[in-house]
Chains A and B, each alone.
Chain A
Amino acid sequence: MRYALMAAGLLAGTVAAHAHAMLEHASPGAGATLAQPPKAVVLEYTEALEPSFSSVIVNDANGHDVTAGPSSASGSTMRVPLKPLGPGTYRVIWHAVSVDTHRTEGAFSFAVSQ
C-alpha cells in the first residue's frame, strides 16, 4: 500500500495536466463595497482559459448590462470593461472553459457606495 501511495503521488506530481479553471482572485472581490467605481472586472483563474468559450457579464440591480464591451481572456485572466457605475449593487456572472475543455461557472455581487 505504501508503494502504491508513493507511485500515485509521483504520478499526480509529475504528469503535465490541466484541470478545472477555478476562480483564484477577483477584482472587485465578492461582497466588496467600493467607494470608487471600478473601470473593469478582472478575474484570475487557476488554469489557462479557452477565450472562445469563456465570458463574464456584469448586471446592475435591475438586470441591465453595465459592461462597456465584450469580455476577453488571455492566459488565466479574464476581464471585462465597465461603463461608469453609479451607487448600487452589481452582479458578476462568469463562465470559464479551461484549455482542456473543463467547464466552471460562478457569480458574485459587489457594491458601489457613492
Chain B
Amino acid sequence: MYSRKAQIRALVGAIIVMGATPASAHGIVGARFFPATITSDDPFAADELALPTVTAFNHETDYDVDYSKTIFPGFAISLGIGYADAHPPGGPDATGFTNLSVTPALELWRSEEHEAIVTAGFIWDVGGTGARAVADRASTYTPEILFGKGLGDLPDSMALLRPLAVTGQLGFAIPGAQDTSRSFQWAGAVEYSLLYLQNNVRDQGLPPFVAHLTPIVEFSFSTPTDAGGGFTTGTINPGLIWSGQYTQVAVEAVIPANRASGNAVGVIAQLHFYIDDIFPHSLGRPIFGGKP
C-alpha cells in the first residue's frame, strides 16, 4: 500500500509532467497543420520554444519553459523546466523549481497523403534537479508513443469533418522511487482547424484572425497500475489556439475529470514560438542533415 504522501506526490507529479513536458512540436503533414498542443505532447520533432506555459489549477500555479531542438530531421530533444507555487489548503506552502525533463522524440512514420504521423518519445524527469519541496528526488522514466491524424481524407459527403484532427500520447511512467506507483499516461487532443476549413474545404470568408483559430479539446490522464497506487486522475481541457506565422497563443480551461483530480476549474495558457520559422537558416535548422 502506498502512503498518502506518495499518492499526493504522484498526483502532483503527474499534473506537472502532463502540463509541463515539452509540448513537442507544431508540425505539418501533407495539407495538415497541427498546432502545438499544450496539456498533451504532440507527435512532432521540431524547433520550438514554449515560453511561458502558465497553469493555475488545484491551489497551485506553475510557470514552465520548454525548448525543443532538432538534432537531425525527424529527431529532436526537448528540455523543460518549471517553477511551482503551491498553496494546498491545510498543508504547508511549497514553492520551487521542478525537475528538469529531457525528452528525445523520433518520428517513426508519416503519411503525407493521409495526414498521419507516429512518433516514439522517452520522457526523463531528472530526479533531484528541482527543489525538494515540489520535485521528486528520484527520476521518472516514461517511454511513449505519440500519433496524429487529420481527417482530410474523408469522402466529399463528410467534407465539413475534414478540418478535424486528433493527436494522442500513450506512455508508461516508471518512477525510480519505491513508494510511487507506476502509471499509464494517456492524453490527446481533438481539434478543428478553421484554416483547414477555409483553405481546403470551403472558403467561408472568415476574417484572417478567425481563420487562424483552432478550437480544441485536450485531455490528459494518469492511471496507476500498481496495487494501492490510487485512482485515475486527469483533466479535460477545452480551449482555443491561435496560430500565426511565427507564434501561437493558446488558452484552455482545466477541468478535473473526477474528485481525485481536483475540485475547481483551472486555466492554462501558453505563448509558443516556431523557432524553425523565426530562424530558418540557423537555430531553426537541424544540427545534422538540415537543408542549406
Contacts and interface: CB of A to CB of B under 8 A. Distances in A.
Given A101-B291, A105-B31, A11 B278 contact: yes
Q: Identify the 9 closest CB pairs spanning chains A and B, nearest first.
A: A29-B203, A31-B202, A19-B277, A100-B280, A106-B31, A19-B245, A23-B199, A30-B203, A17-B278
Interface in B67-101: 83
Contact of B245 (A8, A22, A31, A103): A22
A104 B28 contact: yes
Nearest to B202: A31
B201 A108 contact: yes
Interface in B32-91: 33, 49, 51-52, 63, 65, 83
Given A8-B271, A104-B28, A18 B280 contact: yes
A113 B201 CA distance: 18
Contacts, number: 82
Given A30-B200, A104-B28, A107-B200, 9 more contacts: A1-B83, A4-B52, A15-B279, A18-B280, A19-B277, A47-B245, A100-B280, A101-B280, A107-B31
Interface of B: 28, 30-31, 33, 49, 51-52, 63, 65, 83, 112, 156, 159, 195, 198-203, 208, 245-247, 271, 273-274, 276-281, 291
A22 B156 CA distance: 23
B190 to A, nearest CB: 22
Contact of A106 (B200, B246, B279): B200
A26 interface: yes
A42 B110 CA distance: 30
Interface of A: 1, 4-5, 8-9, 11-12, 15, 17-20, 22-24, 26, 29-32, 46-47, 100-109
A34 to B, nearest CB: 12
A46 B33 CA distance: 15
Contacts of B280: 17-19, 100-102
B279 A8 contact: no
Contacts of B65: 4
A93 to B, nearest CB: 9
B201 A31 contact: yes
Nearest to B31: A106
Contacts of B31: 105-107
Contacts of A15: 278-279
B8 to A, nearest CB: 26
Most buried by B among A5, A19, A32: A19
17 contacts: A5-B51, A5-B52, A11-B273, A12-B273, A15-B279, A18-B280, A19-B277, A20-B245, A22-B245, A29-B203, A47-B245, A101-B291, A102-B276, A105-B112, A108-B199, A108-B200, A109-B156
A95 B92 CA distance: 58
Contacts of B199: 22-23, 26, 30, 106, 108
